[in-house]
């Protein structure tokens, strides 16, 4: 019989308190094969978690915790299309978006895979037409530029993946506009010609105020030069709300749909991926889906001890619920993954930033950590000081490709690799005060100077890191990496006992913004708002010369 969750957690805490792996340096010295023991892989992807303070017993206890909440059963329910998004009574089937054409995945008795592939085919035909110039604008010119207007899940995934796969771009130039700040769209439109610009409006609900406002501005941009009739040729829409898209005035062949069982932050594999497909082409997009599918299969089939998403999730839980670390940093040593941390922020924090359990009761443990990061080596010259010597321990997840896409810049790639490995080594080893002192003395410092400076040059070490290594950042590798993190978030959510697939926490601010707009415009005195908010609105109106 499996343990109860409190029992499993309490056993993990006692295990940690017993100091099983309290000194990583000593653990490496004691077991020279520690790296091979705590590295798992899938294809060319390796996950080395040997620099986390865990041993085999930790993994066994984490496995018991997973069993106590039925993670595997929940996983199977998700893949089977059960309505596991309980607060919205919906299935959660982003995995069906990358399923093989002959798969059979049912929602309300209907196999959804044929619909998925019908949309993929339509996206393929449209992106082929844009890329080969057979689909043209109102004045007969081919499209040179495509703007994706969307926000959150309708922006972050396409932006991140388009940048990540830049070496595969051979289609029109891509631009992304998300912020309601007019500066974003103004700067984007600045150098573009309406005659050769296609605008994609990406919104699951087709009601999001930022996206609809930017879409209206983009529409004016097209209409002012080409007239109203050009809208149908210069726009496309990606949405589940087909009725609302119709009101916007788009023809059916310019609308690419998806379904309510695709969460916004899990939608990159759906029609929301169209900008990426336009940039890299149908075949590369299909490889991207295949990478995610490989991770889906692995997540379903591999035993817990070899299962990357399970282990990544369980180690995340170890750090959050047992060690109490409040955040984690994602540091890709890959400039083209520079938006990956931002993408993961939505994926992870919008999913697991909850404080009420599935039963509607307040959680009695913590839930998702703060997720943040920047690419290396840039971060080294910014916030790594805190990672090495700050008072908080922040687990880091590094990622590095063995091979870059620039064969003529091998030396730079080797330097990048050396930096990535050096950082995880430094975080693990640290430098004792005695070592710091000895180093100072050997570089000519006096005894007094060495005593004074040694504490400042001491690194506590023992700071946990996970390092991912893969051959090259191909479409397949990127798809696999994203799916890994999607499933990791899922595993952690099961243990937190929350619904990872709703996001009610974004609602209140939206409602208040709608109510405050008349105050900002001076059309309402704003009864019911607090004095700070009203005073700020008044100050801003004064600065704008409106009062």
Ligand X SMILES: O=P(O)(O)OC[C@H]1O[C@](O)(CO)[C@@H](O)[C@@H]1O
State in angstroms the smallest separation of the CB of 489 from ligand X. Answer: 14
**Which is nearer to ligand X, 54 or 174 (by Cβ)?**
174
Nearest to 288 by CA among 91, 78, 92, 97: 97
Span near ligand X by CB under 6 A; candidates 149-157, 160-168, 187-195, 393-401: 149-157
Q: Which of 50, 68, 197, 208 binds ligand X (CB under 6 A)?
A: 208
Q: Determine the 3-state secondary structure of 520 from DSSP.
A: helix
Q: Which of 90, 204, 219, 298 binds ligand X (CB under 6 A)?
A: 204
**Which is nearer to ligand X, 462 or 503 (by Cβ)?**
503
Dihedral, 239, 241, 243, 244 alpha carbons, nearest 10: -80
Return d(Cα 56, Cα 45) in angstroms, integer.
22
Q: Which of 58, 68, 211, 284 binds ligand X (CB under 6 A)?
A: 211
Span near ligand X by CB under 6 A; candidates 42-50, 199-207, 224-232, 419-427: 199-207
What is the gyration radius of the CA atoms in the chain, in angstroms?
A: 26
**Which is nearer to ligand X, 450 or 482 (by Cβ)?**
482
Is residue 274 a contact point for ligand X (CB under 6 A)? no
Span near ligand X by CB under 6 A; candidates 101-109, 148-156, 218-226, 276-284: 148-156
Q: Which of 58, 127, 188, 203 binds ligand X (CB under 6 A)?
A: 203
Is residue 148 a contact point for ligand X (CB under 6 A)? no
**Which is nearer to ligand X, 181 or 449 (by Cβ)?**
181
Catalytic residue among 141, 228, 472, 510: 510
Q: Which of 144, 205, 217, 338 binds ligand X (CB under 6 A)?
A: 205
Q: Which of 137, 152, 273, 373 binds ligand X (CB under 6 A)?
A: 152
Span near ligand X by CB under 6 A; candidates 11-19, 150-158, 251-259, 353-361: 150-158
Peptide bond into 377 cis (omega under 30): yes
Is residue 513 a contact point for ligand X (CB under 6 A)? no
Other CB atoms closer than 10 Å to residue 462's CB: what's the count? 19
Q: Is 510 a catalytic residue?
A: yes
Q: Measure the CA angle with vertex 307, ends 57 and 106; round to 5°.
A: 135
Is residue 90 a contact point for ligand X (CB under 6 A)? no
Within positions 226 to 255, which residues make up the interface with ligand X, using CB under 6 A? none
State in angstroms the smallest separation of the CB of 151 from ligand X. Answer: 5
Catalytic residue among 381, 408, 411, 456: 381
**Which is nearer to ligand X, 250 or 310 (by Cβ)?**
250
β-bridge pairing 110-111 and 106-107? antiparallel
Nearest to 145 by CA among 194, 184, 210, 215: 194
**Which is nearer to ligand X, 151 or 164 (by Cβ)?**
151
State in angstroms the smallest separation of the CB of 241 from ligand X. Answer: 8
Helices (H) and strands (E) in the chain, counts: 23, 13
Distance of CA 179 to the CA centre of its chain: 18
Span near ligand X by CB under 6 A; candidates 172-180, 183-191, 201-209, 430-438: 201-209
Span near ligand X by CB under 6 A; candidates 48-56, 90-98, 128-136, 198-206: 198-206
Q: DSSP secondary structure string, 316-338?
A: HHIIIIIS---EEEEEEE-GGGT
CA atoms within 13 A on the CB side of 195: 4
Secondary structure in 3-state letters for 350-387? HHHCCCECCCCCECCCCCCCEEECCCCCHHHHCCHHHH
Within positions 319 to 378, which residues make up the interface with ligand X, using CB under 6 A? 350
Is residue 487 a contact point for ligand X (CB under 6 A)? no
Return d(Cα 23, Cα 58) in angstroms, integer.
14
Question: Count residues contacting ligand X (CB under 6 A)?
Answer: 14
CB burial of 116-126 (b: ≥16 within 10 Å; e: otherwise) equals: bbebbebbbeb
Q: Which of 85, 95, 148, 154 binds ligand X (CB under 6 A)?
A: 154
Query: 466 CB contacts (<8 Å, ≥6 apart)?
Result: 47, 48, 49, 51, 52, 312, 315, 395, 396, 397, 398
Residue located via tokens 């077991």: 31
Return d(Cα 437, Cα 353) in angstroms, integer.
44
Q: Which of 137, 158, 257, 264 binds ligand X (CB under 6 A)?
A: 264
Residues binding ligand X (CB under 6 A): 151-154, 203-205, 208, 211, 264-265, 350, 503, 506
Q: Which residues are catalytic?
A: 350, 381, 510
């Amino acid at each position: 019989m499996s343990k109860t969750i409190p029992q499993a957690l309490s056993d993990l805490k006692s295990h940690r308190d017993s100091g099983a792996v309290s000194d990583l340096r000593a653990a490496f010295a004691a077991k020279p094969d520690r790296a091979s023991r705590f590295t798992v892989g899938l294809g060319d992807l390796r996950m080395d978690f040997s620099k986390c303070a865990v041993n085999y017993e930790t993994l066994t206890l984490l496995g018991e915790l997973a069993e106590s909440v039925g993670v595997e059963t929940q996983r199977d329910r998700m893949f089977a299309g059960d309505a596991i998004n309980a607060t919205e009574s919906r299935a959660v089937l982003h995995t069906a978006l990358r399923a093989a054409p002959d798969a059979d995945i049912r929602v309300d008795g209907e196999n959804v895979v044929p619909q998925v592939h019908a949309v993929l085919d339509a996206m393929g035909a449209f992106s082929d037409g844009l890329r080969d110039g057979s689909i043209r604008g109102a004045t007969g010119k081919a499209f040179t530029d495509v703007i994706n207007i969307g926000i959150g899940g309708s922006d972050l995934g396409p932006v991140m993946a388009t940048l990540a796969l830049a070496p595969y771009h051979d289609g029109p130039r891509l631009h992304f506009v998300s912020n309601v700040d007019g500066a974003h769209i103004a700067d984007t439109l600045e150098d573009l010609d309406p005659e050769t610009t296609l605008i994609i409006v990406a919104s699951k609900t087709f009601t999001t105020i930022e996206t609809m406002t930017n879409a209206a501005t983009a529409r004016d941009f097209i209409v002012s030069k080409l007239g109203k009739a050009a809208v149908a040729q210069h726009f496309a829409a990606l949405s589940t709300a087909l009725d609302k898209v119709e009101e916007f005035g788009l023809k059916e062949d310019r609308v690419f749909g998806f379904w309510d069982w695709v969460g916004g932050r899990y939608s990159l594999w759906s029609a929301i991926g169209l900008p990426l497909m336009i940039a890299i082409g149908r075949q590369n997009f299909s490889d991207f889906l295949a990478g995610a599918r490989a991770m889906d299969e692995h997540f379903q089939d591999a035993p817990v001890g070899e299962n990357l998403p399970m282990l990544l999730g369980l180690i995340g839980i170890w750090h959050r619920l047992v060690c109490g670390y409040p955040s984690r940093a994602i540091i890709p040593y890959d400039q083209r993954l520079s938006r990956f941390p931002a993408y993961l922020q939505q994926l992870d924090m919008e999913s697991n930033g909850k404080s009420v359990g599935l039963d509607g009761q307040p959680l009695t443990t913590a839930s998702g950590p703060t997720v943040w990061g920047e690419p290396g080596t840039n971060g080294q010259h910014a916030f790594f000081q805190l990672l090495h010597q700050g008072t908080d321990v922040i687990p880091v997840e590094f990622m590095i490709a063995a091979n870059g896409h620039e064969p003529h810049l091998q030396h730079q790639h080797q330097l990048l690799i050396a930096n990535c490995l050096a950082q995880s080594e430094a975080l693990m080893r640290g430098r004792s005060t005695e070592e710091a002192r000895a180093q100072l003395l050997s570089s000519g410092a006096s005894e007094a100077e060495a005593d004074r400076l040694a504490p400042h040059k001491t690194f506590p070490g023992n700071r946990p890191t996970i390092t991912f290594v893969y051959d090259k950042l191909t479409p397949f590798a990127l798809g696999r990496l994203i799916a890994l993190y999607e499933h990791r978030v899922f595993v952690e959510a099961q243990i937190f006992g929350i619904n990872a697939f709703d996001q009610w926490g974004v609602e209140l601010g939206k409602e208040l913004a709608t109510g405050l707009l008349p105050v900002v415009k001076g059309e309402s005195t704003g009864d019911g708002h607090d004095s700070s908010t009203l005073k700020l609105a008044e100050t801003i109106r004064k600065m704008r010369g409106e009062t």
